[in-house]
Structure 1
Amino acid sequence: MVTHAPVGDGEFDRSTVVTRRETVENAAGENTAREGVYDADLSPDWTVANVLNGGYLLAVLGRALADALPHPDPFALSAHYLSPSVPGPAVIRTQTVRAGRTLATGQASLFQTGEDGREVERIRVLGSYGDLAALPDDVRTSATPPVLPPPERCVSPDDGPPPPGDFALAGRLSLRLDPATVGWALGEPSGRGEVRAWFDFADGRAPDPVSLLLTVDALPPTAFDLGLLGWAPTVELTAHIRCRPAPGPLRVAIMTRNLAGGFLEEDAEVWDSADRLVCQSRQLARAPRA
């Protein structure tokens, strides 16, 4: 019997839907592993320069794990991008590694058919899930929200000339970039390796834990602010979801402190309309060639 993972009504939800095909119980000694198989149709609407966005792909796998595990919300996900994913059919295989009362851990891999007709693994994810609504309210932090001008005083991607290639992702989002971090668009990068922006969906969809997996990877690469324009493919991305975001636009701040050997790290913070730090991430990416 085919069932569907719960989704909402927004464009993001429709583009990340996964369909559960089967569930198998594999017993090994005293441990029992639950394995699931899901079908997905990766949408070309979430590409950057004709390449599927890494955050979008993580959200697709995150939705499969949310269906496969006994707890609803992603707490921590770590993804390794093994080969470029392309729009079209994909198969996701999940496995429950451990299921506890408050946390469950699982892994998921996304596969597509290669040019030679063989199955190719594109991404492998390890994630822990729980119930964000059950967490205590105490917060002790030295982190502060990024200071951004009001959205009407920020820069939309539509304010400049269209970039080369197909940036379909930009049409799905409402991004307002901090003018202090877009000097690269005028040929004057600051060299600080910082990008800040207001983030919202173009159709007004409210943020939720799964959509935060897209948010951390949806801004222009920090390499642009270092004067390196071009594709910066993600090698590994880890996201920590701290709480369910309040409705309204999100503030996102991303920075890099070290580019060496052709790779750079990006640290992201996502803050909601209630001034709460709702998500943090770090990724390793290949730096664009100068």
Structure 2
Amino acid sequence: MAQASLGDSEFDRDTAVTRRTPGTYTAVLSPGWSIIRALNGGYTLATAGRALSRALPHPDPFSITAHYLTPAAPGPAGIRTETVRTGRTVSTGTAALVQYAQDGTEVERLRVVATYGDLDDLTDEVRTSAKPPAIAPREECFRSSDAPGDIFADSTLLQRLDVRMDPATCGWAVGRPSGAGEMRGWFGLADGRDPDPLSLLLAVDALPPAAFELGVTGWTPTVELTVHVRARPAPGPLRVSIATRNLAGGFLEEDAEVWDSADRLVAQSRQLARAPRPKDLAAGARPS
């Protein structure tokens, strides 16, 4: 199969937005990006992020924060944007992604605040102590199809992605979690489309929750997600590592790093998620 190109791929089509009036856009959220009960949060954030890239004078997200209010569902959606401030190098805006209940009531799915700029205008200076994560070669990593039983059943998202998990962080899949609270893997889109800044918003939320390696599995919905995009990624697969250090009070954090094929740290994120609840586990809920 020929490799999909930037701007002409399933991800581009399924995050497309249409301008209706100044600052307002419509989209059709695809069922192909679902995780059990709802659409993936990285996918919906990328859709709202695309609307902001159209509304603001700068093309690329530098920092983008989403608060997830209700689970998004496949179907029509509206996105209202507001330009808060425009400067020479960055601009700031907000976006609200809404859908409608059967009775016509508007339901807000997520609220976004973001600062945009132009990644091509950044300097080449790098001073960092960060290092790429140690991940087994792609050919030695596990695909989702290697998971036992129906652990990923009903997750159409996985058909859109080429995610290969490091065996060192897959103990949870066979009932032997490491207790380290870490996940590492290779990330790409299944149609071969190279990464860009908007797909990084998906990459930070595409691996199984790090809590699985703590031995806690089940529905793990995102409450808030902040992504910092640090550079335009080079072509080729990405390496993603996520970790949680503190599960307490029914919530946990996840810190993620995304590295490109040129060994550059291209995105960082932190999200707050709700830990699986006992009733979710008793019902046999599967991954978020």
Shorter-chain TM-score range: over 0.9
Counterpart residue number, 1:189: 177
Matched, 1:235 2:234: no
Q: Secondary structure at the match of 2:180?
A: coil
**8 Å contact kept, 1:50–1:165:** no
Counterpart residue number, 2:281: none
Matched, 1:159 2:146: yes
Q: Secondary structure at the match of 1:184?
A: helix
Q: Equivalent residues in 2 for 1:56-67 (5 A)?
A: 56-67=43-54
**8 Å contact kept, 2:144–2:152:** no
Q: Secondary structure at the match of 1:210?
A: helix
**8 Å contact kept, 2:258–2:266:** yes
Counterpart residue number, 1:20: 19
Q: Secondary structure at the match of 2:131?
A: coil
- Separation of aligned partners in 2, 1:157 and 1:96: 40
Gaps of 5+ in 1: 1-6, 24-35
Q: Normalising by structure 1, what TM-score?
A: 0.92
- Separation of aligned partners in 2, 1:116 and 1:76: 36
Q: Secondary structure at the match of 2:142?
A: coil
Q: Normalising by structure 2, what TM-score?
A: 0.93
- Separation of aligned partners in 2, 1:139 and 1:72: 22
Q: Which amino acid aligns with 2:108?
A: E
Q: Which amino acid aligns with 2:264?
A: R
Q: Equivalent residues in 2 for 1:3-18 (5 A)?
A: 8-18=7-17
Q: How many residues are matched?
A: 272
Counterpart residue number, 2:108: 121
Q: Equivalent residues in 2 for 1:65-80 (5 A)?
A: 65-80=52-67
- Separation of aligned partners in 2, 1:49 and 1:112: 19
The structural deviation recorded for 1:128 is: 0.4
Matched, 1:83 2:83: no
Matched, 1:50 2:49: no
Counterpart residue number, 1:100: 87
Counterpart residue number, 2:286: none
Among all aligned residue pairs of Structure 1 and Structure 2, give the percentage whose two residues are the same amino acid: 67
Match of residue 123, structure 2, among 125, 132, 136: 136
Q: Secondary structure at the match of 2:273?
A: strand
Counterpart residue number, 1:30: none
**8 Å contact kept, 2:35–2:156:** yes
Range that drifts further, 224-233 or 206-215: 224-233
CA deviation map 1:112-171 (0-9, x unaligned):
112432111110000000000000000001100001111000111111233254110000
Counterpart residue number, 2:211: 223
Gaps of 5+ in 2: 1-5, 279-288
Matched, 1:149 2:136: yes
**8 Å contact kept, 2:65–2:225:** yes
CA deviation map 1:249-286 (0-9, x unaligned):
00000000000000000000000000000000000000
Q: Secondary structure at the match of 1:174?
A: coil
- Separation of aligned partners in 1, 2:37 and 2:244: 24
CA deviation map 1:55-110 (0-9, x unaligned):
00000000000000000110000000011111100000000000111000000001
- Separation of aligned partners in 1, 2:155 and 2:171: 20
Return the structure number with greater strand share: 1
**8 Å contact kept, 1:110–1:121:** yes
**8 Å contact kept, 1:228–1:289:** no
Going from structure 1 to structure 2, the CA distance change for 1:164 and 1:180 (only over 3 Å counts) comes to closer
Counterpart residue number, 2:269: 281
Going from structure 1 to structure 2, the CA distance change for 1:260 and 1:121 (only over 3 Å counts) comes to same
Q: Which amino acid aligns with 1:19?
A: T
Q: Equivalent residues in 2 for 1:22-41 (5 A)?
A: 22-23=21-22, 36-41=23-28
Range that drifts further, 110-119 or 268-277: 110-119
Match of residue 198, structure 2, among 190, 206, 210: 210
Q: Secondary structure at the match of 1:39?
A: strand
